[in-house]
Structure 1
Amino acid sequence: MSEYGSIANTPLPRTRTSLAADFRRLGIARGNIVLVHASLSRIGWVAGGPVAVIEALGDAIGDSGTLVMPAHSADWTDPARWQAPPVPADWIELIRAEMPAFDPERTPTRNMGRIAELFRSWPGVRRSDHPACSFAARGPLAETILADHALESPLGEGSPLARLYELDAHILLLGVGLERCTMLHLAEQRAWPGRRSHVEGAAMLVEGRRQWVFYRTPPLVDADHFLSLSTPLQAANLVRTGMAGSAPCLLLPARTLVDFAVDAWSGMPLPE
């Protein structure tokens, strides 16, 4: 939507103050650990844009809370596997030789949205060191959540998602649906363990020097199958719904969501 359209469809400007109040009404409280997936455009016209949204989230959880967002960089992967779009075969070795090393401070996110892209460089934010599936966090539990992000477990037991599960964090889907919920990839791996991994690669810093590193990683299936959980979760009263500005929101406890999904999927065939 254009900015003209955003203004025309917003009754009043969304602000840091109004959004913080919306988050509190939804159930976010001081001291919470919150993993946020967000669409800025769905909120309506915001005075201050993504800055105001991040500040409002910080106001809702306070200094004792910890805010987490995905900071994935899907283009810091092996070009031999790129599909959307693929690159010519004779480019692959050159890309592997010249791609800059992943740097948590400088490498941009890809397709994460303006809020997550701003948050990764926000003062006081730390970022895990996985080249493709990093997470960014700010707050007293940031280091605990982000530490030791295993290269071979981008979204599994060796990832920040598992730490968020252990801490029973909240998941806020701000203007997005369950198909954007990365926590469900952890459930996916628990429901269908032992899937054959594939070889991935990235340019990384190893003892201070750039190297191309190959590693193995579990496959991910199309996240659209996450949407099948929407109705059962609502029926079980496991999700809180509300609005932040014009954006419909879902707030879910991470541990309950993962356990529910594993129970629902276990014994089912793996989605295509």
Structure 2
Amino acid sequence: MGEHDVVERTDEPLTADRIRADLRDLGVDAGETALVHSSLSAMGWVAGGAPTAVDGLLEAVTAAGTVAVPTHSTQLSEPTAWENPSVPDDWVETIRAEAAPYRPAVTPSRGMGAIPECLRTYPDAVRSRHPTTSFSAWGAAAEAVVADHAYDSPMGEESPLARLYERDALIVRIGVDANTSLHLAEYRADLDDPPERSGGRALVDGEPRWVTFEEPTSRDDFRDVEAAFEAADPDRVWRGRVGDAEAVVCRMRPLVDFAVEWMEANR
């Protein structure tokens, strides 16, 4: 959606105070830990753009809380799996050998949206070390959330998702369907699908290296999981708006626990 279209459908500029107030109405209170997935354009026209939206998020949880966002960098992922666009087979080895390695402070996120890309650059924000599926965080528990992100656990037990699960973080989705927390359920579920081999370009002991790892096979059924979760107990899903965007909030731990059982029964 172009900026002209966003202006046309917005009644008044969205401010950090309004974003904070809307989030508070959804239960995102001071001291909370929140994993946020977001669309800046879905919120309406934000005065000042992404930094204003980030300010509103941080003001909602305050310095006593923590905001985490996915800052994945799939431009450093296994090129044979690329589809949008795919690349010629004879490019693959050059990409693996010559792509600039992942560096938390330098490497941009890809396809995550303006808000995560902005938050990762904020003072006191920290980013995990995984070359393709990093998370960035700000706040009281930020260091603990992103620490020791294992290469062979992109979104598993040694990833920021597991640390957020331990804290029973809020899952906050603003104008998007994305929900990375359900990937943790794929790691925990006892499923028959064979894992997928993947990789990424990283700095290992200061030297650029291609690192390989395995991930569970993911399926396009996350919306089905979420619908079943809400149908089983509507009170544990909170709906509202942040600006013009539809927003959905729930606790991570019960959602992931439910998703493990659902996946084992339905996949």
**Shorter-chain TM band:** over 0.9
Whether contact under 8 Å (2:195, 2:217) holds in the other structure is: no
Does 2:179 align with 1:181? yes
Note closer, same or farther for the CA distance 1:80–1:264 as it changes in structure 2 (3 Å cut): closer
Q: 1:191, CA displacement in angstroms?
A: 2.0
Q: Give the aligned partner of residue 243 of structure 1.
A: 241
Q: Deviations over 1:247-266 (max 9, x none)?
A: 01011101011112122222
Whether contact under 8 Å (1:196, 1:218) holds in the other structure is: no
Q: Give the aligned partner of residue 34 of structure 1.
A: 34
Q: Give the aligned partner of residue 225 of structure 1.
A: 221
Identity of aligned residues (%): 42
Whether contact under 8 Å (1:185, 1:220) holds in the other structure is: no
Q: 1:218, CA displacement in angstroms?
A: 1.5
| In structure 1, distance between residues paired with 2:193 and 2:152 | 13
| In structure 1, distance between residues paired with 2:201 and 2:3 | 37
One-letter amino acid of the structure 2 residue matched with residue 221 of structure 1: S
Which 5+ residue runs of structure 2 have no aligned equivalent? none
Q: 1:239, CA displacement in angstroms?
A: 0.6
Whether contact under 8 Å (1:187, 1:258) holds in the other structure is: yes
Whether contact under 8 Å (1:74, 1:132) holds in the other structure is: yes
* Structure-to-structure mapping, 1:41-52, within 5 angstroms: 41-52=41-52
| In structure 1, distance between residues paired with 2:216 and 2:259 | 18
Whether contact under 8 Å (2:187, 2:216) holds in the other structure is: no
* Structure-to-structure mapping, 1:72-151, within 5 angstroms: 72-151=72-151
Whether contact under 8 Å (1:14, 1:44) holds in the other structure is: yes
Q: Please, what TM-score do these two structures have when normalized by structure 2?
A: 0.94
Range with greater deviation from structure 2 (4-13 or 110-119):
4-13
Whether contact under 8 Å (2:72, 2:134) holds in the other structure is: yes
Q: Helix, strand or coil: the match of 1:252? A: strand
Note closer, same or farther for the CA distance 1:233–1:202 as it changes in structure 2 (3 Å cut): closer
Across the aligned residues of Structure 1 and Structure 2, the Cα RMSD in angstroms comes to 1.5
Point out 4+ residue stretches in structure 1 off by more than 4 angstroms: none
Q: Give the aligned partner of residue 156 of structure 1.
A: 156
| In structure 2, distance between residues paired with 1:34 and 1:150 | 22
| In structure 2, distance between residues paired with 1:203 and 1:263 | 34
Q: 1:80, CA displacement in angstroms?
A: 2.6
| In structure 2, distance between residues paired with 1:219 and 1:86 | 22
Q: Please, what TM-score do these two structures have when normalized by structure 1?
A: 0.93
Q: 1:102, CA displacement in angstroms?
A: 0.7
Q: Deviations over 1:67-90 (max 9, x none)?
A: 100010111112233232221111
Which 5+ residue runs of structure 1 have no aligned equivalent? none
Q: Deviations over 1:179-201 (max 9, x none)?
A: x1000011122223574333322
Match of 1:206 among 204, 207, 211: 204
Q: 1:11, CA displacement in angstroms?
A: 1.2
Q: Give the aligned partner of residue 265 of structure 1.
A: 263
One-letter amino acid of the structure 2 residue matched with residue 60 of structure 1: A
Note closer, same or farther for the CA distance 1:259–1:219 as it changes in structure 2 (3 Å cut): closer
Whether contact under 8 Å (1:104, 1:127) holds in the other structure is: yes
Note closer, same or farther for the CA distance 1:85–1:25 as it changes in structure 2 (3 Å cut): same
Q: Give the aligned partner of residue 70 of structure 1.
A: 70
One-letter amino acid of the structure 2 residue matched with residue 240 of structure 1: W
Whether contact under 8 Å (2:196, 2:217) holds in the other structure is: no
| In structure 1, distance between residues paired with 2:58 and 2:128 | 20
Match of 1:234 among 212, 230, 234: 230
Note closer, same or farther for the CA distance 1:265–1:81 as it changes in structure 2 (3 Å cut): closer
| In structure 2, distance between residues paired with 1:3 and 1:207 | 43
Q: Deviations over 1:141-195 (max 9, x none)?
A: 1111111111111011111101111111111001112xx1000011122223574
Figure out how many residues of one structure are paired with residues of the other and give that number. 265
Q: Give the aligned partner of residue 9 of structure 2.
A: 9
Note closer, same or farther for the CA distance 1:93–1:115 as it changes in structure 2 (3 Å cut): same
One-letter amino acid of the structure 1 residue matched with residue 210 of structure 2: W
